[in-house]
Amino acid sequence: MRLNKYIAQSGIASRRKADELTIAGNVKINGTVMRKPGYDVVEGDIVEVSGRKIEPVKKLIYLMLNKPKGFVTTVSDEDGRATVLDLLTDVSERIFPIGRLDYNTSGLLLLTNDGDLAYRLTHPKHKIYKTYRARVNGIISDARLAQLRNGVDIGGFVTSQAKVKVLKGTAHTSLVEIQIYEGKNRQVRKMFASVGNKVIDLERVAMGELYLGRLKEGHYRKLTQEEINYLKNC
């Protein structure tokens, strides 16, 4: 089995992150540092990541969390900030987030120990739209909406076409729904900033056909088998 797949199936990280760990020298095979992501793990090999022996997990976990603001979307944080894993009070298995949500962004976040699924959902070739509701300052004009729909420059990167519509507006703020399939760091905030509307509040409400629904902030639930099948085949 290819090394990155072995690591992914051990619930450590996605295949992409597994490659990064390997290249950085954090992986050992039979006591020797292995920096080749293409290594094939064979029966009898002892694999260690960051000093801990790993093996593929037997029980796969799939969760949906309504992430509150004030939590980082990582397994640990070097600055000591609370992570989304701190919210999973009765989950003993080692799991990790699929993708990320900014510290000040709330809403739908998936977590799993299925590295293959995480790799699939974060790979650029799989165009899975993520739906956000953004409250922005000011009125957002038709011209600015057109810019967002056609793609904007967010600092050396031009975004792909987005689906955008205004849900509600006042003289001072606008509530906008935006759907994107890319996942650049702080992308939605940068997109609105590029057209002159600063994001005041941001929530992710859906990922593909999976919706946050009535899941309360800070709470989580297991995905249904139908939802898992959808993610594996979308």
Q: Catalytic positions, please? A: 102
- Residue 22 phi/psi, 5-degree rounding, is -65, -50
d(CA 60, CA 115) in angstroms, rounded, equals 10
Distance CA 227, CA 114 (A): 14
Longest dimension (CA), the chain: 67
d(Cα 186, Cα 94) in Å, to the nearest integer? 27
Are 57 and 9 a contacting pair, CB within 8 Å? yes
Q: Encoding tokens for residue 175?
A: 């509530």
Rounded CA-CA distance 209/141 in Å is 29
| Three-state secondary-structure class, residue 87 | helix
Token output for 98: 């699929």
Could you identify the residue written with the tokens 């699929």?
A: 98
**CA dihedral of residues 174, 180, 186, 191 (deg, nearest 10):** -50
Q: Name the token pair of 110.
A: 């998936």
